[in-house]
Amino acid sequence: MKHFFLRSLIALSLILVVFWGMQSCKPKGAQSAVSGDAAEKAYVAPGKYDEFYDFVSGGFSGQMSVYGLPSGRLFRVIPVFSVDPEKGYGYSEETKAMLNTSHGFVPWDDLHHIALSETNGIQDGRWVFGNGNNTPRIARVDLKTFRTAEIIEIPNSAGNHSSPFITENSEYVVAGTRFSVPMDNSNGDVPISSYKQNFKGTVSFIHIDTSGRMNIAFQILLPGVNFDLARAGKGKSHGWVFFSCYNSEKANTLLEVNASQKDKDFILCVNWKKAEEYVKAGKAQKRSVAYAHNIYDENKHMATSEIEKEVLMLDPKDCPDMVYLMPCPKSPHGCDTDPTGEYIVGSGKLAATIPVFSFTKIQKAIADKNFDGDYDGIPVLKYEAVLHGEVQKPGLGPLHTEFDDNGNAYTSFFISSEIVKWNVKDLKVLDRVPTYYSVGHLSVPGGPTRKPWGKYVIAYNKITKDRYLPTGPELAQSAQLYDISGDKMKLILDFPTIGEPHYAEAIPAELISKNSQKIYKIEDNQNPYAAKGDKYARVERKGNEVHVYITAIRSHFNPDNIEGVKLGDIVYFHVTNLEQDWDIPHGFAVKGANNAELLIMPGETQTLAWKPERTGVFPIYCTDFCSALHQEMQGYIRVSTAGSNVPMIWSMGKNAAPIAENK
């Protein structure tokens, strides 16, 4: 025991020395690393469009941001898992249900990975998916509207990190649990020290139908390890998904040391076509669970949340030939498949080589039963039998790999702060460039697909240090754009990002821009609280609820004078934007509301709930500068004492009159 501790401590201090040592040794020549024609290459003239959209995860901001490449200009922050007062997301009555979970309303999450939908292994521009790490969820954003259209919670999971990676025809997005936990239908109230008996891992396959609608098709019950990242096979390996995992030691404390004991952990290979057959053959067990499924209805302009009650669980014990483990050195992180689908690149966070596996060899090893025993009953393939080769001396601490359209791979190295380019077939290192500093993910447009578009690689860095003007203790995290069109990678641009960028995916602009929606048609508005014209503007009392059906058009609200609200009432402002013009949202805010604003798109209805806490007259106004007379787009609402007999009256353009006179 003593020995174990001593050894662990030595190992830990060694790791830390290497780690911090490398981190603080910053690459030299940060200025001279920029190529002479950089400005020209990243320059997009005013009025000109960028060539690519870049969807960047926001990490602990819970959102997704959209940039243009090569300019690095920020176009939009799409609210996904976090409330966003700028857009009223999670504040308006219509959007609150999007953030519902089996734990109730969860207004934040940690979004790490991006997956653009694909057809035939090629990006198609329909949807982009993102994962919520903390309270396991997957979101689908509709790229016609750049709005979160659906969020599904993942049961039997905790720390939804190896997610949402997509199969080549968008059949599934996958989700692997980072934290193994007691299963939802078991008694979870167990000693943490009973980890090895009671804690399990799962991977989930979330089916996507042609309309984009998600549902959890099945889960696979797995040993209690930590699933980290994943990639679907493509081409010849279509039908398989590869998940990296660490902590095959099954440690439940001081993982830093205890989960770094073994020389190799695993990459899990899942044959999902086989899994589908087992589900069809009735081999899956129904497990009762509870998870939220939230859908935003574009016509109703409203989200609904349902709690689903059941999931299908496949146990590898009943399903031979469905899952295999492949040894992978030194705490694997990234696990990436090349455009041909033949090569699977593993990355050990503490490794000094990059192992590359061959799909053909994996198939042969399976056929020959070339196993190295099993792990909890799952056959372990022999390392040498499935290895295509190792990239020698690439750098220190490989994390993630992307591919270009010329058979090259680009791997990020966190510890040695660099991107290394190497040839996938002969595994020769071709080029290396420093990153500023400590790159995590990297991305080539189309890099994870069968058809990379190439041109650039973007580094998403964890540490910014001296790259920008100081802004107090926290600095914006940073992305760096490199031109990869020649033999040598060339740094051409730095741009700051929002939250912490983890993964990102870029896609040619025209695949999305041509379908971009400009307005919501007012005649299609099915929100039950819509007022689709001035004649529907009104105020209705229902007990202590006051419903204000309000219209907005340049540059007034109707009604804009309201009286008769009493303390104890809840006022619902249902605001319909009557505009039918692109880029003319109206905003709506009321003084003192414990809420956010609304930002209402043309043709849309959104509702703000307000519980007045004091008597008086409260201004309401439009928050988005919509016309020359935007400042005139304002009004008042009067709140009286609970017992008052001020009549309920409203008006616009003349002084308030009793209800009878308004009719």
For residue 442, the minimal CB distance to ligand RUQ (Å) is 9
Cα Rg of the chain, angstroms: 27
Q: Restricting to residues 164-203, which ones interact with ligand CUA according to CB under 6 A?
A: none
> Which of ligand CUA, ligand RUQ, none has residue 625 at its interface (CB below 5 to 8 Å by kind)?
ligand CUA
- The helix/strand/coil state of 1 is coil
Residue 120: partners with Cβ closer than 8 Å, 6 or more residues away? 168, 169, 450
> Which of ligand RUQ, ligand CUA, none has residue 586 at its interface (CB below 5 to 8 Å by kind)?
ligand CUA
For residue 472, the minimal CB distance to ligand RUQ (Å) is 25
Terminal Cα distance for the chain, rounded: 86
Spatial separation of the C-alpha atoms in residues 232 and 246, rounded to whole Å:
19
For residue 450, the minimal CB distance to ligand RUQ (Å) is 21
Cβ-based nearer residue to ligand RUQ, 458 or 601: 458
> Which of ligand CUA, ligand RUQ, none has residue 264 at its interface (CB below 5 to 8 Å by kind)?
none
- The helix/strand/coil state of 307 is strand
Cβ neighbours of 292 (radius 10 Å): 23
Q: Nearest residue to ligand RUQ, using CB?
A: 440
Rule CB under 6 A: say whether 287 interacts with ligand CUA: no
CA-closest candidate to residue 158, choices 132, 140, 185: 132
Cβ-based nearer residue to ligand RUQ, 399 or 458: 399
Handedness of CA 461, 462, 466, 472 (dihedral sign): positive
Question: Backbone dihedral region of 606: left (phi > 0), alpha (psi from -120 to 50 degrees) or beta?
Answer: beta
Chain residues binding ligand RUQ by CB under 6 A are 112-113, 161, 229, 333, 399-400, 440-441, 502-503
Rule CB under 6 A: say whether 56 interacts with ligand CUA: no
Phi, psi of 554 (to 5 degrees): -55, 120
> Which of ligand RUQ, ligand CUA, none has residue 440 at its interface (CB below 5 to 8 Å by kind)?
ligand RUQ
Q: Which of 450, 586, 589, 651 binds ligand CUA (CB under 6 A)?
A: 586
Question: Backbone dihedral region of 655: left (phi > 0), alpha (psi from -120 to 50 degrees) or beta?
Answer: beta
Going by the DSSP 8-state scheme, the letter that residue 14 receives in this structure is H
Amino acid at 642: A
Spatial separation of the C-alpha atoms in residues 474 and 501, rounded to whole Å:
15
Spatial separation of the C-alpha atoms in residues 118 and 237, rounded to whole Å:
16
Cβ-based nearer residue to ligand CUA, 99 or 578: 578
How, if at all, do strands 214-222 and 302-314 pair? parallel
For residue 573, the minimal CB distance to ligand RUQ (Å) is 40
Q: Which stretch binds ligand CUA (CB under 6 A): 148-156, 343-351, 591-599, 625-633?
A: 625-633
Rule CB under 6 A: say whether 626 interacts with ligand CUA: yes
Q: Which of 274, 425, 591, 630 binds ligand CUA (CB under 6 A)?
A: 630
For residue 175, the minimal CB distance to ligand CUA (Å) is 41
Q: Which of 98, 633, 637, 639 binds ligand CUA (CB under 6 A)?
A: 633
Cβ-based nearer residue to ligand RUQ, 441 or 490: 441
Amino acid at 579: E
Rule CB under 6 A: say whether 601 interacts with ligand CUA: no
Spatial separation of the C-alpha atoms in residues 269 and 276, rounded to whole Å:
15
Cβ-based nearer residue to ligand CUA, 368 or 581: 581
Strand partners, 201: 222
Per-position b or e across 253-262, b if 16+ CB within 10 A of its CB: eeeebbbbee
In the shown chain, the binding pattern of residues 370 to 409 toward ligand CUA, with x for contact by CB under 6 A and - for none, equals ----------------------------------------
Q: Restricting to residues 552-581, which ones interact with ligand CUA according to CB under 6 A?
A: 555
Phi, psi of 121 (to 5 degrees): 80, 10
Cβ-based nearer residue to ligand CUA, 451 or 630: 630
Contact set with ligand CUA (CB under 6 A)? 555, 586, 622, 624-626, 630, 633
